[in-house]
Structure 1
Amino acid sequence: MELMQHVGSMISNANPWDNLKFDIEGVAECRKFFGTLYNTYSFFALYANIDGFTYSEAEVPLAERPEIDRWILSELHTLIQKVDEAYAEYEPTRAARAISDFVQENLSNWYVRLCRRRFWKGEYGTDKIAAYQTLYTCLETVAKLSAPIAPFFMDQMYRDLTKATQKENFESVHLSHFPTAIKGFVNKSLESRMLKAQTVSSLVLSLRKKEMIKVRQPLQRIMIPVLDEVFKQEIQAVSDLIKAEVNVKEIELLEDVSGVLVKQIKPNFKALGPRFGKDMGLISKAIQGFNQEQINQIEKDGTITLDISGKSINLTLEDVEISSQDIPGWLVANANGITVALDITISEELRNEGIARELVNRIQNIRKDSGFEVTDKIKVQLQKENTIEKAVIANEAYIKSETLTNELIFVEELKNGTEIEFDELQTKVIISK
């Protein structure tokens, strides 16, 4: 495995014909890729075995699959085209990086994260079958695309997948047919709005981290300035995904940010210097003099034209660095021309829900450590603690549903309970089937 990772890291860091010194960071990044892919396969295998999924059902038509399925399949077929072109041009490094980005950012960090409930909750119906078929297709295709540069790992994964389903009867991934990109699966509009959802979510999560507010703690609202009507429609289309991913109740789209958000701009000297040389000083001074309207224009259009000493200068977002001032009770961040403001005020109701989510996490961990099956129904006994009891009463149905709890009771004292602690709160719990 270590040798495989080092070979993979060399190809993902540089072309095989280039001289390359041993790079421990490159190996670590490659280890992350293999680990992420293996964990994604393990997640799939766990629940596929529980539900007896063998790809024996009829293919769920693309149009009948949820949007999140159609998105990842669009990204998959875009990836097939990129990798096929890279191999054809003898660019295995470009292929390796594209595959790595797809697996880590799109498949694992987004698709599986947002869809995990579809695999472990609900009846074995069309939606769950579509989820299994979609994830299986992604894993099988990644194995084929990666086989030329990670031959042993991908052959093992491919044979494990096809042995269970008999979907293909090739003895090895290296004897199978290389994937073909199908235009009908590619939806650039869908990819665009999902990228916006990923950007907004990343910004909100970074603000949570900055303020040390855990994701399990619900927050009330984020504000997003609207750049244009298309942007507004794209955010509205993915608003539920964003709210679920960052644990926020509301998204408010701002048509007019004047008086709400004050943006600041400064030159990106690293980008300006090589392009403009001796004119950089005048251009930098002009950028620092931008008003809010000009800042909004370059954010919206991605470009702006200036007249500097009779010369027409075209600037892009890469030439500047835009930030926003925090406002009382809010944190603000920018990326890729998108601004988000996060309301960090935590009401008592939000606080109680956060406690309930922390408790769910502890119960799930104890279930796992106790060797319970994921389908086992349980009884939960908690030692009385006023703050926790109040939060449980307010969120009892949610806690029971998430943990498959049939009975949840408080007792004065648990002598043999497991101690749990979070947010300066302490109690004991006993869990039984």
Structure 2
Amino acid sequence: MANQEEFFVAKAMEDKAAANSSENKPNPFSIMEEEVLDFWDKAKAFEKSVEKPAPQGDYVFYDGPPFATGTPHYGHIVASLMKDAVPRYWTMRGFKVERKWGWDCHGLPIENIAEKELGFTQKKDIIAFGVDKFNEVCRSKVLGYVEEWEKVVRRLGRWADMKNSYRTMDLEYMESVWWVFKQLWDKGLIYEGYRSIHVCPRCETTLSQQEVSEGYKDVKDLSAIAKFELEEPLYLRNRTIAQLTNDSEKDRRVYVLAWTTTPWTLIGNVALAVGEEIDYQLVKIMDAVSKNIKSLEIPPVIDVDDFEYYILAKEKVELLLGDKVYKVIGTIKGKELVGKKYKPLFDYYAKQANLENKENGWQIYAGDFV
């Protein structure tokens, strides 16, 4: 029995030693990759692939330059694999494909680094320091991660001419951009217009969509629920509200409630959106407490009067009107509301006699985002 136990103990120790030995061994595939990279370097395989005869002519490959203000991330690596595979393919098809690397030296990333190092908090600090001196600080920092990029690109197995790279801050490059712009101007392709853009209040400059998304975070914001009066009577089960409720007033006003986080846009509102398959309910507010809409975090309904009819999503009725005395008159699908016209909150726009496509405005549309 003792011998058997000693055997199993010895066997377990042997297996563990073998496992440790295996873990300490270099990955054979990693070694193989390094050997291939060394072979390419010594043989100058990339350079020769560009210099060899190209019976099919040139295949122009433009590579958007990355910032050198940080190390490569996943997005860079994925793009690099594609930017390596495509030129290799066309090279094998008989084309000459030069792959000159570039560095993007402009934009907020490098400015943010320089401002942080200098302790600046606003644009006025840069003006006081001197724009020319600030540019020199940026220029000295812009290529801080070049070595890391060169290591990663080589290790990926990507072929690119990084020794003769261009930089967007070089005068020769900037002059070439102005030359292109001048050609566009001479051909009448440049025009002046307006567009909505994001602006950074701190650095007082425009922001790209990427820069906006980098600072994205969820925050609580103000919102409002506005009511839009329908122009025509609403029919439920082919009956008017008066027929359904036996109200003495024949043309009782009906409002569609709409939630918005941008109430300042209501002045230009021309459409409402509903979900086609969402259930909406027609609700009659029965008491004078209606101005005190239940809300801890639910915004108040704008200008609510007693004994009015509201159309709102069925699942929101209790949330919005839970402390009211109300009566549900009926339920309707969103698609049955599509096409219904309503009165504009502000009629300055609707009163324009020659307004193009006026018939398409101030009505309910289906929206898959609802």
Q: TM-score, normalised by structure 2?
A: 0.20
Instruction: Please state which structure has a larger fraction of its residues in helix.
Output: 1
Which structure has the greater CA radius of gyration?
Answer: 2
